[in-house]
Amino acid sequence: MLELENSANAEPDQAVMVGIPEALFLSLVARLYLFPLLAAIAAAALGYYLSVISGSAAFASDMITLVCGIAGGAVMVLRNRNVSREFNGSFIVHLLRVIEIHEPGN
**Boundaries of every domain in the chain:** 37-84
Q: Which residues contact 94 (CB under 8 A, 6 or more apart)?
A: 4, 7, 18, 19
> pLDDT truncated to tens, each residue of the chain (106 aa)?
566 777 778 888 788 888 888 888 888 889 889 999 999 999 999 999 999 999 989 999 999 999 999 999 999 999 988 877 666 666 677 777 788 777 787 5
What's the pTM value of the predicted model, to 2 decimals? 0.68
Nearest to 5 by CA among 20, 21, 18: 18
| Beta bridge partner(s), residue 95 | 18
- Kindly compute the dihedral angle of the four CA atoms of residues 13, 19, 23, 29, in this order, to the nearest 10 degrees: 40
CA distance 72 to 41: 8
